[in-house]
Amino acid sequence: MTDRKIVIPGEVIATGDDYLPGEGTEKRKNEIVAIKFGLAEEFNKLIKVIPLSGSYQPRRGNTVIGKVDNITFNGWVIDLGTASSAFLPVSEVPKYVNRNDLEEVLDFGDMVVAQIFEINKRGIDLTIRSRGLGRLDQGIIIKVNPHKVPRVIGKEGSMISLIKDNTGCKITVGQNGLIWISGDKIEDELFAKKAILYIVENSIISGLTDEMNNWFKENSK
Amino acid sequence: MTYKRKDGRKNDELRGPIVAKVGVVPNADGSAMFQIGKTIAIAAVYGPKKMHPQHSQNPEKGTLRCTYNMNSFSVEDRIRPGPSRRSTEISKITEWAIEPVLMIEEYANQVVDVHINIIQADAGTRCAGINAAAMALAHAGIPMKDMVSSVSVGKIDKTIVLDLDKFEDSEFEDGEGSTDIPITFTHEGKLTHIQLDGKISPEQLKEAIEMGKKSCDEIYEVQKKALKEIGK
């Protein structure tokens, strides 16, 4: 098995004892079987299945964008669009917080960029102790399919820096599919939005970065 | 004396056309349509999401919740919309047919919702619903051990026939009458669901199960093709 192929649950991807089962796969006797629908990929004898559809599965270290749902006595409950709720404790805010006035830092309905630092049985724990994290004060937020996020970012961020250079906007992509765009003018933000939606729509094209280069040449004023 | 089928099918022949499509409901996390003959089912999967109401949460493992619904326009005489004794039973049966292949142990306190809508009914709706639900669950990225395929086998008078239509299922009354046996198989060939009300001898039941097993492979190929198409 050399190239990537689409597999469905229960399908045998490879036979032989020298393969290792990775994410989305299972070993049954000497066969590697897919347990998820997606793209099967082999790397150094490790086989994994990358899901193509479905809801967002949170992972440690992901940068996500969420909305403040509730305020408790020691933190905030953030809605990331996931099944289990996410919690941002006061101790993970990198500045002094008056415990009697948590609304001052983050109020109900505020949007926030955060990083997942732990996932346990009780839920997701978030942190904003890093550069680029924290409350979002201006700009627009758009929602895309979470599985298309890697294409929006591109290889080592090539795609996202291309959009940033061409639109002059600040962009943060949350792994949960929410994207924050902030520019000097609303026209710039809408232009960046148009570019991202174009990428999402044409995510299957190979050589998408070159395609986007052309797209920017055609569409920019 | 053997029974001759009205539509000229062989005894072990499925109704045509068999059409499967994945991703028919854009707002759902996963969805699929399955048509066999004149029966059309649409399944939409939402989740895993937090279980509501809270008292039905299971902190040990995830839950599968199926809702089967027949649309009021799906049959010739309009049926009363809303849940009925029959639809609650089929919802439960669908859960039991699919649960053995689902790997939702890790989704504690969460639920995977499957909504099955029958938009055109011509017998075998629960089987079409299970086929659509299996594809929709795979499309939603839910981990599964295997796919499931379902078909109904029946006994018309004394003959075992495959995939009954509306006439054979509920209008045929000569001789011993008709018996309907919906069966669900995993692709591996394991049985996850069988229903039977009526009279049948053990030998004939074995024959019926064998016949069902063979045609489930046929249905599996259709499901597989539909899923692979969407990924392109």
What is the full per-residue pLDDT of chain A (221 aa) written as tens digits? 456 789 999 999 999 888 999 999 999 989 999 999 998 988 888 999 988 888 888 989 999 999 999 999 999 999 998 888 899 999 999 988 888 889 999 999 999 999 999 998 788 999 999 898 999 999 999 999 898 898 899 888 999 999 999 999 999 999 999 999 999 999 999 999 999 999 988 877 778 888 888 888 888 76
* Separation CA B51–CA B61 (nearest Å): 11
Angstrom CA distances, A204 to A38, A207, B19, B32, stand at 14, 9, 25, 21
Shortest CA gap A121–chain B (Å): 8
Tell me whether residues A204 and B232 touch, CB distance under 8 A: yes
Q: What structural domains and CATH numbers belong to chain B?
A: 18-225 (3.30.230.70)
A1-15, B39-53, B111-125, B204-218: least confidently modelled range: A1-15
How would you class B7 by CB atoms within 10 Å of its CB: exposed for 0-12, middle for 13-18, buried for 19 or more?
exposed
Spatial contact of B168 and B154, defined as CB atoms under 8 Å apart: yes
The answer to whether domain A5-51 has CATH 3.30.1600.10 is no
CA gap B96, B92 in Å, rounded:
6
Tokens 């859960």 sit on residue: B95
Per the CB < 8 A criterion, the answer to whether B130 and B34 are in contact is no
Neighbours of A203 (CB within 10 A): 16
Question: Is-contact B68 B91, C-beta < 8 A?
Answer: yes
pLDDT at A82: 87
Do A10 and B141 lie within an 8 Å CB cutoff? no
B6: pLDDT strictly greater than 90: no
Element (H, E) at B137: helix B125-139
Residue A121 CB neighbours (<10 A) = 9
Q: Is the CB of residue A35 less than 8 Å away from at least one CB of chain B?
A: yes
pTM for the whole thing? 0.90
Q: Which CATH superfamily is domain A63-136 in?
A: Nucleic acid-binding proteins (2.40.50.140)
> What is the fold of A140-219?
Ribosomal Protein S8; Chain: A, domain 1 (3.30.1370)
CB contact under 8 A, B231 and A55: no
Residues contacting A133, CB < 8 A, separation 6+: A63, A112, A113, A114, A115, A127
Name the residue type at position A207: G
Residue B24 and residue B31 in contact, taking contact as beta carbons nearer than 8 Å: yes
| Digit-coded pLDDT (tens) for B158-177 | 899 999 999 998 888 888 88
- As a whole number, mean pLDDT of residues B179-197 equals 95
Q: What is the pLDDT of residue A140?
A: 94
User: CA quadruple B202, B204, B209, B210: dihedral positive or negative?
Assistant: positive
- Domain range summary for chain A, segments of one domain joined by +: 5-51, 63-136, 140-219
- Tell me if A5-51 shares its fold with A140-219: no
Per-residue pLDDT, A206:
77
The Cα B164–Cα B13 span in angstroms is: 10
Judged by CB atoms closer than 8 Å, whether chains meet at B231 and A6 is answered as yes
Rounded (to 5) percent helix, strand, coil in chain B: 30, 30, 40
